[in-house]
A and B are shown apart, each in its own frame.
Chain A
Amino acid sequence: MTNETLLSARGLSLSFGAIPALVDVDADLWPGEVLAVVGESGSGKSTLLNVLSGRLRQQDGVVWYRDPEGRLHDVHAMPQPALRALHRSDWGFVHQNPRENLRMSVSAGGNVGERLMAQGSRHYGNIREAAIDWLRQVEIDADRVDDLPRTFSGGMLQRLQIARTLVTHPRLVFMDEPTGGLDVSVQARLLDLIRSLVRRLDIAVVLVTHDLSVARLLAHRIMVMQRGRVVESGLTDQVLDDPHHAYTQLLVSSVLQA
């Protein structure tokens, strides 16, 4: 067990006008670990995800990232090219709406292969083979490799987005409500897929969700946010089964069976 964090945030604060989106938030993520960030909409969980991933700049605080060579980087002080390269290689981002990430006029194979080509892969056959392999891993038939995403169902689109994200073997993936907007039966399949991929590939995940059952099934640890503050954090099952903060108790009691 390594004691070196993959991602570490200290004292993150950010306000939108008079509205506090983040108030003195600390967060740590170790390799291979899934951290869920839960809370109602407006609690600041998506803002936290965007700040942690360098897509949004905080007013106060710092986010440290440790690269595969063990060097620490202040995410918000990284030059733009380096941060963009990071987002294409060691990091991934899975959006709630896969259409935001996928190229809808490019075949499934092209979508999966893009990150490889961006990294300099120049062998068509290898790229295509990797794309087919990844489609298989996310349970999409290999014979759909040349089809356009617009012929895919919502669940397939989300799985395609995941394949597109994981093809470069990132160590850290940010997920924003990955099962949101999907039918319950489709959700279960996706959850199972994410869980087994994350476990098998030893990926660290920061998972933002309002769905406590998703957090329970996927996350090792959980952070509960309310009005920009982390009100409670700890082991997922402990926080959900023995919530201490009033807001967490309210959240847990508001769910039928989390």
Chain B
Amino acid sequence: MLQTRNLGKQFVLHLQGGLRIPVLEHVDLEVHAGSCVVLVGPSGAGKSTLLRSLYGNYRADGGQILVRHDGETVDIATAPPRTVVQVRARTLGYVSQFLRVVPRVPALDIVAEAARGLSPEAARARAAELLLRLNIPPRLHALPPATFSGGEQQRINLARGFIGGHPILLLDEPTASLDNANRDIVIAMIREAKAAGTAIVGIVHDTAVRDAVADRLYHVSPLQDAA
């Protein structure tokens, strides 16, 4: 479903006199349908950079990011932006650590509008179902999440990521701010997604969660600074 070949990524900081910071080199990662690969490595090794590169949020400098999209193979590293938008809409889902949305929109709508192929009513019904499952009580559904706690915001994010049912799902610390009860719900949701054939790449620090969902670990090692 997802495969990188010789993926490389560096940052060039023009404001610091063109300082070059290489982060990823020769990354070869392969994720199949129904399996979960968890990225591991020390802090600052580039796990987040890799995940963001897979999503097209960071632009890869070298190599390929091949994604199975609508029966064809698309290289996220070189695809035109419009294609990446389409891949994200239908194939590639992403759960970020932080919720970034228009301030005024109610939680339910934030989740519902990420649904795919559902009528507005069905999308809202499914969104409510997911939020309830993640222990977001109905009284919060109609409120914008700006004032919610960190854990609540993360669960909104999870609902938003899972409602689309994308064939590939990227998870950045999906359980970081959650208590045990909610963490177990997320583990269950990840397992269900895998059972439904979803290919998952995640960053998960919590070893209990990692053990519960990972089929394979992928080690990301820090590069030498070559400034």
Contacts and interface: CB of A to CB of B under 8 A. Distances in A.
Whether A and B touch directly in their complex, counting CB atoms under 8 A apart, is answered as: yes
Interface of A: 1, 30, 33, 188-189, 191-192, 195, 199, 216-217, 220-221, 233-235, 237-238, 241-242, 244-246, 249-250, 253
A241 B82 contact: no
Contact of A246 (B15, B59, B85, B103): B15
Given A221-B81, A235-B84, 20 more contacts: A33-B82, A188-B103, A189-B104, A192-B102, A192-B105, A195-B102, A199-B113, A220-B85, A221-B82, A234-B81, A235-B81, A237-B57, A238-B57, A238-B58, A238-B59, A241-B58, A245-B14, A246-B14, A246-B15, A253-B15
A38 B217 CA distance: 41
A244 B59 contact: yes
Contacts of B227: none
Given A246-B14, A253-B15, A235 B58 contact: no
Contacts of A235: 56-57, 81, 84-85
Contacts of A30: 82
B52 interface: yes
A6 to B, nearest CB: 12
Contacts of B82: 1, 30, 33, 220-221
B224 to A, nearest CB: 22
A253 B14 CA distance: 11
A83 to B, nearest CB: 27
A247 B52 CA distance: 22
B15 A249 contact: yes
A241 B102 contact: no
B3 to A, nearest CB: 20
B86 interface: yes
Nearest to A237: B57
A238 B15 CA distance: 18
A244 B58 CA distance: 10
A234 B56 CA distance: 10
B13 interface: yes
Interface string B52-96: 100011110000000000000000000001101110000000000
Most buried by B among A189, A233, A238, A253: A238
